[in-house]
Amino acid sequence: MSVPSSAVGTAQIGVTGLAVMGRNLARNFARHGYTVALHNRTFARTQSLVAEHAADGTFVPSESMADFVASLARPRKVVIMVQAGAATDAVIDELVPLLEEGDIVVDAGNAHFPDTIRREAALRERGLHFVGTGVSGGEEGALNGPSIMPGGTAESYASLGPILEAISAKVDGVPCCTHVGPDGAGHFVKMVHNGIEYADMQLIAEAYDLLRHGLGASAPEIGEVFAAWNTGDLESYLIEVTAEVLAHTDAATGAPFVDVVADAAEQKGTGRWTVQNGLDLGVPITGIAEATFARALSGSAPQRAAARGVLPADTLEWNVPEPGAFIEDVRLALYASKVVAYSQGFDQIAAASAQYGWDIDRGAMARIWRGGCIIRAKFLDRITQAYERDANLPLLLADPYFTAAVANGVAAWRRIVAAAAVHGVPTPAFSSSLAYYDGVRADRLPANLIQAQRDFFGAHTYRRTDRDGTFHTDWSGDRAEQTW
């Protein structure tokens, strides 16, 4: 089958890769009035999309990549929605020889940002634009409005941006899509979004675990607590989902659903990438790292089997005389920990932006995460406002709004982390967030001792508090100080 001549050059956007995400993005474009060229390696998927969803708008299906390209208006805009990695490279290799200067290739998959940097450079050499684009919101978001994070050139955004903004989620009429920055910036920001999502989910899970142990509460009872929290500062999609999941009853057993779900959390790898990059850039993203490691620990079956019932606990018995006060303490600890996790994630974006020359507007990132994506929340408005007050804010936690918000909860946060420790409830994200908070606000850290040790065994030198310069003490000799 080839494209009818009347359809040549008519499609405003094309999608290749019509599995669930690609299919829903294509339908979303069509519903917004765009003529959408369709292609998939296996033509049956293309045919079924047209057969089932013709009512969404105008589709131009093609069996061959050449026909697909021919059906697009210039400059052509092709969205690739296949698995990250080899499949993306295979599609690019097939597509690129058919394109002409100025055409725009959009990778909307979950690519690792170094791959996006590589592909952008390769396509730029051929006069093509390559736009690595983060898309968040899953299947539902792809169809009804995702959060979209496009990288690539400003020039490509000028023609592509309006189409992406049209299909994105809207909050207060503002699209959840903006140009993030050059080459890999879009996929980078999507990666950090996912890392923050890991941290947020871990914090919520720790809050649930504390309520379960501290109050002996059932899953549905805790679900009610989360539903109540969703009406305040914590209002977010993830809290809403938590309340719903906790309220759900397993049809097979009649037990609370979460009680029959195995306690081993999986991951697809974006959390791992985020942590690896945090290490590369030297940014302490402890909340995201603890969340990623907590998933790994949950899945460490042999280690858990070897430890269960064997490692001494020596914990105190829970005795919570005022459940209402305890619930409020957990809420405040959750909120404060969440502020830390987001602050760390935005630090990582700032560090990467400086390192890779991306010039990312952090306030705009918070703005496009307010809708469509998994971490969507009212809270993100506060982050946007903080960066509007100071675009170069060195630490989100130090913005007056967040400083005040944490001040209100810091005593509760300490009570909860202390209670978790003496009662033996693992709270890696709550605890590490508090440790980060105390570390970053400290007048003086014990790093003085570490640097002195390094000088002792490795002559790594040190600086002094009382005068400029670099020094070394002759530890193995007369211990006289030398200036280096």
Q: Which stretch binds ligand ATR (CB under 6 A): 15-23, 162-170, 181-189, 343-351?
A: 15-23
In the bound state with ligand ATR, the residue whose beta carbon lies nearer, of 19 and 241, is 19
Q: Which stretch binds ligand ATR (CB under 6 A): 11-19, 133-141, 146-154, 429-437?
A: 11-19
Q: Is 218 in the site for ligand ATR (CB under 6 A)?
A: no
**Cα of 308 vs its chain's centroid, Å:** 32
- Helix, strand or coil, per DSSP, at residue 388: helix
In the bound state with ligand ATR, the residue whose beta carbon lies nearer, of 268 and 441, is 268
d(CA 226, CA 241): 9
Active site residues: 190, 197
- Helix, strand or coil, per DSSP, at residue 472: strand
Nearest distance in Å: CB 189, ligand ATR: 23
Nearest distance in Å: CB 88, ligand ATR: 8
Q: Which residues contact 313 (CB under 8 A, 6 or more apart)?
A: 424
Q: Which stretch binds ligand ATR (CB under 6 A): 83-91, 186-194, 239-247, 380-388?
A: 83-91
Q: Is 91 in the site for ligand ATR (CB under 6 A)?
A: yes
Q: Is 337 in the site for ligand ATR (CB under 6 A)?
A: no
In the bound state with ligand ATR, the residue whose beta carbon lies nearer, of 17 and 134, is 17
Do residues 358 and 172 touch, judged by C-beta distance below 8 A?
A: no
In the bound state with ligand ATR, the residue whose beta carbon lies nearer, of 27 and 338, is 27
Q: Is 17 in the site for ligand ATR (CB under 6 A)?
A: yes
Site for ligand ATR in 187-206 (CB under 6 A): none
- CA angle at residue 162 from 158 to 164, to 5 degrees? 110
Q: Is 90 in the site for ligand ATR (CB under 6 A)?
A: yes
d(CA 125, CA 62): 28
For residue 38, give the H/E element and its range: strand 36-39
Q: Is 45 in the site for ligand ATR (CB under 6 A)?
A: yes
- Helix, strand or coil, per DSSP, at residue 129: strand
Q: Is 19 in the site for ligand ATR (CB under 6 A)?
A: yes
d(CA 358, CA 152): 10
Q: Is 110 in the site for ligand ATR (CB under 6 A)?
A: no
Q: Is 83 in the site for ligand ATR (CB under 6 A)?
A: yes
- Helix, strand or coil, per DSSP, at residue 148: strand
Q: Is 279 in the site for ligand ATR (CB under 6 A)?
A: no
Q: Is 137 in the site for ligand ATR (CB under 6 A)?
A: no
Nearest distance in Å: CB 19, ligand ATR: 3
Q: Is 42 in the site for ligand ATR (CB under 6 A)?
A: yes
Q: Is 52 in the site for ligand ATR (CB under 6 A)?
A: no
Q: Give the dihedral sign, CA 65/71/76/82.
A: negative
Strand partners, 256: 249
212-215 contacts, C-beta under 8 A, 24 or more apart: 213/318, 213/423, 213/425, 214/318, 214/320, 214/326, 214/330, 214/419, 214/423, 214/425, 215/320, 215/323, 215/326, 215/327
User: Residue 195: which of 47, 352, 60, 61 has the closest Cα?
Assistant: 352
d(CA 419, CA 5): 72
Do residues 455 and 482 touch, judged by C-beta distance below 8 A?
A: no
Q: Is 64 in the site for ligand ATR (CB under 6 A)?
A: no
Please pick, from the candidates 10, 12, 31, 41, the single residue that binds ligand ATR as defined by CB under 6 A: 41
**Taking the CA of residue 66 as centre, how many other CA atoms within 13 Å lie in the half-sphere pointing to its CB?**
2
Nearest distance in Å: CB 80, ligand ATR: 9
Give the interface size with ligand ATR as a residue count (CB under 6 A).
Answer: 14
**H, E, C per residue of 365-385:** HHHHCCCCCCCCECHHHHHHH
Nearest distance in Å: CB 142, ligand ATR: 11
Nearest distance in Å: CB 456, ligand ATR: 55
Q: Is 66 in the site for ligand ATR (CB under 6 A)?
A: no
Q: Is 50 in the site for ligand ATR (CB under 6 A)?
A: no
Q: Which stretch binds ligand ATR (CB under 6 A): 37-45, 179-187, 292-300, 429-437?
A: 37-45
Q: Is 20 in the site for ligand ATR (CB under 6 A)?
A: yes
Nearest distance in Å: CB 94, ligand ATR: 7
Q: Is 140 in the site for ligand ATR (CB under 6 A)?
A: no
For residue 231, give the H/E element and its range: none
Pair type for strands 104-107 and 481-483: unpaired
d(CA 417, CA 337): 11
In the bound state with ligand ATR, the residue whose beta carbon lies nearer, of 88 and 344, is 88
Do residues 249 and 260 touch, judged by C-beta distance below 8 A?
A: no
In the bound state with ligand ATR, the residue whose beta carbon lies nearer, of 17 and 175, is 17
DSSP alpha helix (H) spans, 40-137? 43-53, 65-70, 86-95, 113-125
Q: Is 65 in the site for ligand ATR (CB under 6 A)?
A: no
Q: Is 18 in the site for ligand ATR (CB under 6 A)?
A: yes
Q: Is 325 in the site for ligand ATR (CB under 6 A)?
A: no
Q: Is 40 in the site for ligand ATR (CB under 6 A)?
A: yes
Interaxial angle between packed helices 428-441 and 185-215, expressed in degrees from 0 to 180 and rounded to the nearest 10: 110
Nearest distance in Å: CB 305, ligand ATR: 32
Residues that bind ligand ATR (CB under 6 A): 17-20, 22, 40-42, 45, 82-83, 87, 90-91
